[in-house]
Amino acid sequence: MIAFWNNGLIDLDAVRTMGVSVKNPGSFGRFGTGIKYGIATVLRGGGSITLQRGMDTHQFTTETREIRGEPFDLVLLDGREMGITTRLGRDWEPWMVLREFGCNARDEGGDFGKFAEVQRDDFTQLLVEWDALDAAYEDRTSLFVEGEPLWADDALRILPGPSEYMFYRGVRARKLPKPSVHTYDILVEQKLTEDRTMGYTWEQDTQIVMALTSRVDSYAVVRAAVVGRGERLERGLAYVSAGDPSRTMLDVLGAARQAKEDIAPSAFDLMLKHMRRAAPPEGHYVPAENNDALSLALEVLGGLGIEFDEDQAFILVDELTDGVDLLVEESRVYIRRGFEDGEPRKVCMALLGAWTDLKSTYHTSDDMRDLLGPLLLNQSDDLRRIEEGSDRLEIVLTHRDTGELVTV
């Protein structure tokens, strides 16, 4: 037998009536349907339920009735119909019942266990006799997270140990796509479905990202989350979308980079983004002082009317995201060192993408580059003279529709 108890007397109308929820602010439950689903599931499974309300005892039973030629088991409280049948919550499993009744008790400041409290005034107790619920109780640690956290604030608790689930105010509320290194308990208000599952999973992921990136001051907690190989939730989170990283996060990433350890891709991008923001003035590239592919590409595009602002900052950096040679960020153009003297056609196309990133409101850089690039930089001979190292910068463009030749 499993007992669920709390101080105070439950309102029997709240038990009988669907959609009645009178929980305190901040409680886990709020729909007024869960207890009915739980009762129906227990009775359908062959269990029994007794409600002790103060010194009064109430019994849930069933009565079979035929409706349109089909038998239904109606649920009764003290012989009075509740307006539901045992088919309510037909997909519910025993662990869901344990979670539901356990949450109801804890929402009211109570608890549950494998024993009954003494019946007394101003006290409510639900007693369930059902073998399947006893089995679910043995696995209750997967439903309710307990113990001292590794780190916590008002929005999130991070507890030790991996988990296949995410918790909401101590209760399991989300099955994770991949196991997590730590166990996460979300404390801030979340939208729940009627089966007590958290919706809008990006909100929970954002809570974790913001905490690990800027608030968690434990080196070990942050490192375990963002460093190391293996499939896990934390590896796929979008750290680069967070604000400025904390000293702890930077220390973790810097040490891992120095040791050439595997870093979560987005966390690595966050580190590079921070490094780019802190790029010293001497890292700025000055086109007029160079005679390389980048300078020539800027001149070519300028001749076509595609010009960057005079004070536009071109900054050479040692690293960008894997596979990226040029990146526009916060009105700056970051260039991977060495790319400025690379293949001219590729440099021109990359600059065209950067220009549209900076200038266009309605199109992405990829859209505009793909649209304008083949037209402006004819893919056969347009950059031939540059590629052959001609002293005179002259490009003959062929309009692919009219055939008109344009010399720049």
**Domain extents for the chain?**
2-142, 151-277, 281-407
Question: Is-contact 126 49, C-beta < 8 A?
Answer: yes
Question: Is-contact 94 132, C-beta < 8 A?
Answer: yes
∠ at Cα 159 (138, 176), nearest 5°?
A: 75
∠ at Cα 272 (271, 275), nearest 5°?
A: 90
Separation between Cα atoms, residue 65 and residue 68, nearest integer Å: 10
Tens-level pLDDT at each residue, the chain (408 residues): 999 999 999 999 889 887 555 555 444 454 458 899 999 999 999 999 999 999 999 999 999 999 999 999 999 999 999 999 999 988 899 999 999 999 899 989 999 999 888 999 999 999 999 999 999 999 888 899 988 999 999 999 999 999 999 999 999 999 999 999 999 999 999 988 766 788 889 999 999 999 999 999 999 999 999 999 889 999 999 999 888 899 999 999 999 988 999 999 999 999 988 888 776 655 677 766 667 888 888 888 887 778 888 777 888 888 887 678 888 887 788 888 888 888 888 888 888 888 888 876 555 666 656 656 655 555 434 444 445 544 444 444 455 455 555 454
Separation between Cα atoms, residue 355 and residue 362, nearest integer Å: 13
pTM: 0.69
